[in-house]
Chains A and B, each alone.
Chain A
Amino acid sequence: MSLIEGRSGAWETVIGLEVHAQVVSESKLFSGASTAFGGEANAQVSLVDAAMPGMLPVVNEYCVEQAVRTGLGLGAEINPVSVFDRKNYFYPDLPQGYQISQYSQPIVGRGAVEIALEDGTQRTVRILRLHLEQDAGKSLHDRDPRRTWVDLNRAGVALMEIVTEPDMRSPDEAAAFMAKLRTILRYLGTCDGNMQEGSLRADVNVSVRRPGGALGTRCEIKNLNSIRFIRQAAAYEAGRQVEIIEGGGSIEQETRLFDTDRGVTRPMRTKEEEHDYRYFPDPDLLPLELTRDYVDRIAADLPELPDAKKARFVRELGLSDEDAEVLVADRDNAEYFEAVAEGRDAKAAANWVIHDLFGALNRSGLAIGEAPVGAAHLGGLIDLIAAGTISGRIAKDVFQAMFETGRDARSIVEERGLEQVSDTGEIEAVVDGILAEREDMVAEYRSGKTKLLGFFVGQAMKATGGKANPKTVNEILRAKLDS
């Protein structure tokens, strides 16, 4: 827990999130129009999405299934009966004049997400509910000096609104939660987690209080579309509130926007009129009833989730907590690692994936899916080391070559003649040459400075272009020096 040190003492930040996650589906929640990102204006809009007179919604079964899958992934209760309600308000990107959402009876109830903090501590963030609702269209305010343009391509795309309890106690915790939630959604395949494209965004509710005291008044910062912004906005907002309270003022509950350029929050300029959404069950739809059987079938199909995977990596593969954490943070990474580790030394595999592969990907700005070294190739490289065909040292060069060319390890090793030299005669000749050249150091060694062994090994390796088997070099050196 990180506290804010104010002039009058310590303050605790309290954060709750309302996350909007766009459901991965081909078509919209209540219409057959495409959900694809970035189409021509209004090209992915049906008569229903445009709320033409007389149009009616019919729910998409896959979106329902995705919500249930997500609920199960969050360890949450799936409600056997849920209801689609209308949330009534006027906005040009809300063509019906209401959003079809779920209010008093959401599809998913309480659940929980475990987050791991930098310092290794675990925290539980409780999920209050998850409900299905329609996304709004897009208003473009900057194309015309006097007009706002409206594109309804996104209108009606299915969203899952995931609401947490105010369980986070610092901007870092909020960021960790969001990262973890994104990981889970990606594992489940229910949301692509692409925050730049707006597939995943969060409203962040921030308040401050004396540590452990009564909750303060919260402000809601709308629509943050990166984890960095969530951390920055929450930190700024908490600081702003402490300053106001310590200055003798009080916090007014309001909706604020985050100015990403200046790193500050400001109240929304549209006058926040009284919210009265007049929720009522949508008479165009019936209650959504899910059988136990249906839920069980989805549960049976759930993939292994990051927490379970991490535990297995530690327990069965002997990885360290940290390595396991890094590997499971992304489903593609974890799958890549598992493919490499299959039938091999898991720790060696983890080292290569985390340090060498991730490092190289980072430097080249590539995603794991674009890695020039596939899991099979990396496994082949590790096999060559294990078989003693190449040294670990040479392996680094081979990996570099693999990453640059996309070729497999064996062909590179063979082409460049990088096989390890284990022939004792050849190595003995090299060692003899080195010892003859550095008689002074040989004397020092013999007088007790045995640490110099490393120096001689290095010299020998250098002389063989790294190809000498280091174990053989060691043995020969010891035999000669200690005799």
Chain B
Amino acid sequence: MADNALTDLTIAEARERLDRGEVSARELAEAHIAAIEGARALNAFVTETPERAIADAEASDARRRRGESGALEGIPLGIKDLFCTEGVMSTAASGILDGFVPTYESTVSANLFAAGAVMLGKLNLDEFAMGSSNETSHFGPVENPWRRQGDNRALVPGGSSGGSGAAVAGRLCLGATGTDTGGSIRQPAAFCGVVGAKPTYGRCSRWGIVAFASSLDQAGPMARSVRDTALMLGAMAGFDPKDSTSVDIDVPDFEATLEDGVAGLKVGIPAEYSLDETPDDIRALWDEGIAWLRDAGAEPVEVSLPHTAFALPAYHLIAPAEASSNLARYDGVRYGQRVEGEDLIDTYARTRGAGFGAEVRRRILIGTYALSAGYYDAYYLKAQKVRTLVARDFERAFESCDFLLTPTCPSDAFAIGEKSDDPIAMYLNDVLTVPASLAGLPAMSVPAGLSGGGLPLGLQIVARAFDEETMFRAARAIEKAAAFDARPEPRG
């Protein structure tokens, strides 16, 4: 079918075809709208916006005819439903925001649309981005398009950007936005066999993105090639005076240096990322990755990140503490759902008790407890100090190397329902992604091979703050060497 050819393109390929006039933005949009309709079983979208997509595409085609093409002119994207989009319901996959239609557009999505992107709809996620499996969504779990060999159980796509991962892997969009607080771009990218990049904290504006943990949240791209994520990030990133934590430095042309290779660079291999529980296939892939980089001219060096073991518990104090405060605004007064009670306090408690799902309630309680009188020093403050130590570890490591290579996750995708009873087992999914989040460093996952069960596995690149260029170069080197071309069976 001709449409398949269109949905299989990378963004860079689609851009060339559009530039040459071989395809129109409208045709691209239509092919994806059809693919989305055919893959509703994945539950990747909370809201589909086909009419908006067609209108965007027609406007894009008109701009192209006038010679006014942006960097993503005519490229159909999915937007994680954590981004507020003007006139389109934005829910954070929470019942408490069901029906909320913002009158404003997030800076990052506005940047993408200003670059010519076409919006296909809003992608499912873990409620308020709290989760690693997309099972906490008010709108139900997302299915990973992949299946384990010889096992027909539906698998999780990872989380929280699970809808984004599934939609990109399932050829429902050419690229998608994600957000990453402790691994929410990288882990679903790894589980779904796509590329996902989290830039340095401060690189992308947080304005208009529903906040989970303010000191950690960063937007980033998910797509099917390193090049695609580089060019998407170029459009998403930039200084925003409306975000006090946005950093006012130039956004380099990430695509321009993409093919510069890794010859002469030192790749750090952190000893502490080798966990007892790490399965053999992941260990083997990591070794292979090191070999690929050596072959490409990089020099592997052992580095130590001694506070790695403290990163995950520190993260699980800081993130819920900030979330407990960030989510206080969902009180049923100005927007969202309200459950009327006997009085105001009761109305608040009922609204929030009913509007938030179990995982969000659990994290609000943990965070509230961690900040409450008598515990602040022992928990929150302690965790923020540990965070300083984790960041120092990286600084020291980067004295002897230019980037780090690690596995993205300690496992491949698991079945829906398999880990939902044990919060800590679920939290361990992020053990390899959280440290870079705490340090605010740029990090990305590249699909590099298949697990013993035939599921995609990712390798993680971590770079110095604001050195996304090296991150993309290293990721591109892995991508070339891995030549990962496996893809999920079409479903739906």
Contact = CB atoms under 8 A, between A and B. Distances in A.
Interface in A123-177: 148, 150
B341 to A, nearest CB: 13
A86 interface: yes
B325 interface: yes
B492 interface: no
Contacts of B211: 53-54, 284
Interface stretch (A92-100, A245-253, A346-354, A437-445): A92-100
Interface of A: 47, 50-59, 86, 88, 90, 92, 95-98, 148, 150, 276, 278-280, 283-286
Contact of A47 (B104, B213, B321, B322): B104
Contacts of A285: 244-245
Contacts, number: 98
B325 A150 contact: no
Interface in B56-93: 83-84, 90, 92
Contacts of A95: 329, 333-334
A278 B206 CA distance: 24
Contacts of B329: 51, 53, 95-97
Contacts of B249: none
Contacts of A150: 333
B303 to A, nearest CB: 29
B333 A52 contact: no
A56 B325 contact: no
B92 A283 contact: no
Given A56-B206, A86-B325, 13 more contacts: A52-B334, A53-B210, A53-B211, A54-B206, A56-B243, A57-B244, A58-B241, A58-B242, A90-B328, A90-B348, A96-B329, A276-B373, A278-B368
B84 A54 contact: yes
Interface string B78-120: 0000011000001010000100101110100000000000000
Which of A58, A98, A276, A280 is most buried by chain B, counting CB atoms within 10 A of its CB? A280
Closest 4 CB pairs of A and B: A97-B328, A278-B371, A283-B214, A283-B215
A276 B372 contact: yes
B322 A283 contact: yes
Nearest to A50: B334
Contact of B371 (A92, A96, A280): A280
12 contacts: A53-B92, A53-B97, A53-B211, A88-B328, A92-B344, A95-B329, A97-B327, A278-B324, A278-B368, A283-B214, A283-B215, A285-B244
A104 to B, nearest CB: 10
Contact of B331 (A52, A58, A97): A97
B326 to A, nearest CB: 9
Contacts of A280: 321, 325, 371, 376, 380
Contact of A148 (B106, B344, B380): B344
A90 B331 contact: yes
A56 B243 CA distance: 6
Interface string B292-317: 00000000000000000000000000
B239 interface: no
